Each structure stands twice: as structure tokens, then as C-alpha cells.
Amino acid sequence: MNTSLLGYPRIGEKREWKKALEDHWAGNLSAEDLHAEMKKIRLNHLKKQQDAGIEYIPVGDFTYYDHILDAATMFGFIPERFTYEGGKVPLDTYFAMARGNKDVHASEMTKWYNTNYHYIVPEIGNTTPSLKENYLLEAYKEAREELGIEGKPVVIGPYSFLKLAKHYESEAFPELLEQLTNVYTQLFTELADAGVQWVQVDEPSLVTTIPEEDLTLVAKAYETLQKEVPQLNLLLQTYFDAVSHYEKVIQLPVAGFGLDFVHDQGKNLHALQTHGFPEDKVLAAGIIDGRNIWKAKLRDKRVLLQEIQIVVDEDNVWLQPSASLLHTPVTVENEPDLDETLKRALSFADEKMEELITLHNLAAGESEANAKILEDNEQIFADLKTKGWRKEEPDNSAFQEVSRPLSYEERREKQLEKWPLPTLPTTTIGSFPQTRDVRRLRARYKKGELSQEEYQSAIQSHIRTWIEHQEDIGLDVLVHGEFERNDMVEFFGERLEGFAFTKHAWVQSYGSRGVKPPIIYGDVRFKEPMTVEETVYAQSLTDKPVKGMLTGPVTILNWSFERDDLPKQQVAFQIAEAIKEEVSALEEAGIEMIQIDEPALREGLPLKREDWQTYLDWAVHAFRLSSSHVKNTTQIHTHMCYSEFQDIITTISALDADVISIETSRSQGDILETFEDNVYDKGIGLGVYDIHSPRVPSEDEMLHILHRALNVLPADLFWVNPDCGLKTRGEEETIAALKKMVNAAQKARAEITG
């Protein structure tokens, strides 16, 4: 039995990776120095795995931005707008695809399956793939030469790569897969010639709902690879759910399969026991949770491993996490302030490696030392129960539907009387630039260097400045700017019962952007109003409406590390009840436009379509639970971003929000096709410019998106806004972009009203 990892966090214990990237983007670190710093970080990560005793160490999972972008540039999928001239893709072009620049917009970014990680979407276009560089070979050689590690190169598989890509016709898929397979053949041949023994080929799309005919194409691709590079062992790796069409997948001509035995709802184990497993292949068993941060219950894991070993010979089993550790923080050791009982129950990336080794040792048999390990592990969870944090018991009973007293059409008439807004009203999503001064202000307050009065006065100064900016720009509905908030989930979690917070437990979200997901360790309860003071102050400065800004229950749940002892829906309902209290507090204080953001609603969709409805039902219920009690004149907004909405447009409508805003600019308006085939009968704003890029688009670009949108959506229901919040942008670019947005809206308004 061996141990293996699928991938390791890139971000670094103290976010060294982020700092290097942002120093380079700011012009403070040359490309040469960036490469040197990245190598240092990369080797440190490999050395950690080596020292931990991991036998199959991944290489090539490290990236300067995103691993799917790496694959796209390796295969030559460079959109024409980036004026690529061939050969190895220049670093500036690579970053332009990820972030855009002053001349061109970035490639689309969207969520990685059902996680909070974002990948850069490959654009196929008319490109014929070819191998531009073999970064896997470089990574393998570096690990071998610098550390003596015989690494396991990791690459996204050809089937999943194309499923994640866009800008090609579906009929072209078979031909494209064949072309891409030929490039993989060259890639793998070069690896085999260099002495590589195993390559991890990630095919996570095989856990989604896929048609059986796709398996014929997948089989053909892997038959080609096996025929052309027979000396190389391919590990076909899946994760995040049970593999679909198990019986056919395990017949693919590869040397091994990686299966998730944590997030598979027991289906992979059932398939293994029912249909068996090829005797001549390796099973890389994902037994340790690669996505959550709770320690494994070792006795349960040992039983699971024993059940697997009944089917698969011990010599053919690799122990590994269920997914790449990209989705977890680096180490619990950097969290000295956590409650000790809670800390003992946590396991981040480095601790998960220790758990793998421990489980490997436990599998060796019974001993006094092993009995003590199991006893100590069980005590960890017994101690959690004695704390009184968890009083609710698991409850899977049906929930009662909640709804607003009047239909949307009836409410809208009352809201139009209350809010005399112009056609195509303009607004923003919520946050304004979190400058260094703002971040320093919060840090000083946290350290006790500022009194409550001094801090509040400074926050009010920022609010006042941006209310003035918004009025000067000409926005119709304003926001207070969220200067007191560190993160849209962390801010609320810090003010609710049941959440714990870390100092250094960062996880990559996209590019250099990291988040510190809260840890839901106990029952969630409302304590006191969280947003009223700042919102009421902002409203006192203007006659225009100011929206109250909240994060929705499903997003708070999906962007936190959740408890593993209650059904997810039950935790969502706890959070919803707490947000409901905050909505009531805002309404009582006179704030009657309230935005409850749910950007993570779609990303929480199960990967198998047959599991969707159950999730969507409780997600909708949680949102309604938080918002349906308000007055009919109170206007509820929500926001979603970076998701494909075509399949859940009915669910979005079922949220019964009065206005929803959705990302559209980075995908170049592709969401509009949804509304060509589906009627959406409530207020809607489609983002007219991409806030994740430093580029300020022209009025004409925004007007183009508006014109496209107004071809399929009624003008009297349409709002104009950016794609998302503006906290990551600079002040000058924010003001410039919003002025152009307002001007574009005014031009479109004039065209409509004459």
C-alpha cells in the first residue's frame, strides 16, 4: 500500500505566492525575480511532501495563476485578440489571458465544478492544438534534480479539458478530442522518454451526468494513448463525486483509477463491491477529505479501507485525499489563537498528509500503539460534544414552504410608487475599493490602536466620500461601500454564533485572490444587528435610496468549512434564520432596499443532474426564509456571478427576489442566450463590465451589451450594474468605469424614451 497526493496548496503558509505575483503585476518584481521566487516556493512545497513521507508526489500542479490556463497555453489555445505569434507563450500574454490588460479583455473565469475555486475558461475557436511547451517535463526534471523526487506529473485530461472549454460547436467535439489526444500523445511520449513512471490524468468531468456515447469517445482517446505510449502508467483521476458509468470507466486502458470515497455518497464503494475492480490496476482511494478541514475519524476510515481491501489487493491500493489539497489551508500550526478543543479537531493540508501516513500505519494491523492512536482520535470528537456548541440534532424532516404575501407583479406596482426610478436604473453590486488605507484602518482597530469612536468616525468618512462620488457619477441607487468588511462571508460569520476564524488559513479563490473561509463548528444564531449602523448613516447623507447589503445563507454555507455532523440544508436554515433577523433590523431602521447576495448558489449544485432538485429546493427555501417576511414595498435584490444559469433559470425566478443581478460581461453576454429561450419576469441587471480586470472598458462596449440585453429583456425590468463588487479595484479606475457605465445607460435610456 502506498500514499499519494493529488495536489498541494499553491498559496503558501503566509501567502508568499500571492505577494510575488502582485509585486510583479505592480512592477516591483522583474520576471526573472518572479521565476526565482516561484521556484523557491514550489520546491518548499515539494520538500514538505517528501519529508512527510508521501510516496507519489504530484508535480506540475503548481501554477502562476491557474492550472487550466496552464494547459490551455501548453496546447496553444490562445485567442486571436492576444496577438500570440507562436512558440512558448510569453508571461505577459499568459497574465493578459487571466486578467486582461488596457487593450483586451480577459478570458472568461468560472467556478471549478462545485467548489469556490475559479478557473480560466479555455477558448477553442479555430485553433488546432499543438504542444507549445511541456511544463510537466520541466516540473518533473526540477523535482528530480533539485530534491531527488521521482514526481508524478499532473495534468487535466483531454475529455475534461474540452468539457471545461468553450467557443466550439458541440458537433466538433469528437474531432477536437481526437486532435487533442494526439497532442497528449506527444506530451506523454516526452515524459516517458525522460523516465516518468506515472502520470495523473485528471478527468473530474467523469463524475458529472454524461451521456453514455461520450464514453465511446473517452475509450477511443485512452486506447490511442495506451497504444502510442504503452510504457507510461496513466492514473485516471476523478473527484468530488462518484464516477458515472463505473462498469465502463474501469474498463478503460489505463494503469489505475483514482476514486473519491468521501464525497461519493457511498456510491463508489457500492459500485466497487457490486462490480469489482480489475486485478491488474491500481486503485487510488480518496479516503481523507480533501475539501473540508475536520480531522478524519480514523476508526471509520480504517473500516472503509478494510471494505475496499476485500475487493482490491492491498498492493494495488494507494491512500490519498479525495481531491487536491488546493481546497484546504496549509497548516493548523499557524493558528495559535483557536480554541484548543476546536484546533485539535482540525486538519489542513499538512495535517492531512500526517493523517494519510497514520492511516497507512493503522492498516498494518492491531497493536498497542495503534489502539492508543484510535483512542486519542475518538477523544477529539468526544471533547467537541462536551462544549455545548452543538445542540441541534440531525433533522431530515420536510420543510414548510414560505413566500411573500403578494406576487411579484402586485409588489412591483407598490414598489414603483415608492421608488420613482428612471428607466434602466443604475447601481453597483455593493463594495467599493478596499484601499491600503482602508485595510490599515481595520488592522489598527483590530490591534486596539484605535478606539471604537475613532474607528467608526474613519469608516463614516469613507462612506461619506463614496456617497458623494456616487452622486457625482449619477448612480440611481447607492450603496455604503462595505469599508468595514474584510470579506463578504467572514464579516457576517464574525458576528454570528457558531463560527470560528483563522489568521492564516487562506485558500486560493482565483489568481492571487485568497479567502479565509470561516469554520462553522456549532449551531448558528443571530446575536445583534450587524450592518444597520453603517447603512443608516449612508442613507442619512443622500435622498437617493441606499441598499442594505447582506450575504445570503447558501453562500455563507458554501463559502465556509461546514460542519460534518448535520445535513447541509439544516445548517443553511440556521443561517437563514439569522439573516432574517438582520433583514428585519434593516427594515425597522428604514432601509427598504435590501440585497441578499447568493453568488455561490449555483456552484453548490451537485455534479449529477439527478441530485439537483433536492439541493435547489432547500437552497430556494433558505433564501425565502431569510427574505419573505418583509413588507411588500421592501425591494429584495440578490446577486450571482460566474455561473451558467441556463439550467436553473426557473430556480432563480423561484427565489422571488424583486431584482437579480448576474455577471455577463466576461462571458461576452453568453447568458443572453438563456433569455432568448426563457422568459424572466422580474427585475434583472446584467453586468456590463468586468470588475476582475484592471481594464476600463469604453462606453461603446457597455452600450453593446445593453443593446444585446434589451433585445431579449424588457426595458422596464432592466437594471444596469457592474459584474460584481468593486473592492479589488483602484479608486480612479472605479470612478472612470462607473461614469462610462452611467453614460452608456443614459444613452440607452434616451433611445428607449425618445
Site of grid cell 428604514? 590
* Alpha-carbon gap, residue 105 to 463, rounded angstroms: 30
CA atoms of 331 and 348, how far apart (whole Å): 5
Measured CA to CA, the distance from residue 675 to residue 277 in angstroms comes to 46
Is residue 143 a contact partner of residue 57, using CB atoms and an 8 Å limit? yes
Q: Which residues are annotated as a binding site for Zn(2+)?
A: 639, 641, 663, 724
CA distances from 502 to 334, 498, 622 (A): 9, 14, 27
Annotated binding-site members for 5-methyltetrahydropteroyltri-L-glutamate? 15-18, 111, 116, 559, 603
Cα four-point dihedral sign 435, 438, 442, 444: positive
DSSP 390-406: --PPP----------SS
User: Residue 162 carries which DSSP code?
Assistant: H
DSSP for 581-606, written as a single string: HHHHHHHHTT--EEEEE-TTTGGGS-
Cell triple for residue 723?
A: 459584474
- Catalytic pick among 629, 692, 704, 707: 692
The span from the CA of 196 to the CA of 192, in Å, is 5
E strand or H helix that includes residue 689? none
User: Taking CA 423 as the corner, what is the angle to CA 420 and CA 425, rounded to the nearest 5 degrees?
Assistant: 75
**Which residues have CB under 8 Å from 222's CB, separation 6+?**
234, 236, 252, 253, 254
Is 692 assigned a catalytic role?
Answer: yes
Burial class (CB in 10 A: 0-12, 13-18, 19+), 700: exposed
Residue 552 has phi, psi (to 5 degrees) of -75, 160
Dihedral sign for Cα 6, 12, 18, 20, please: negative
Provide the annotated binding site for L-methionine.
Answer: 429-431, 482, 597
- Residue 235's DSSP bridge partners are 200, 256
Residues annotated as catalytic (active site), given as ranges: 692
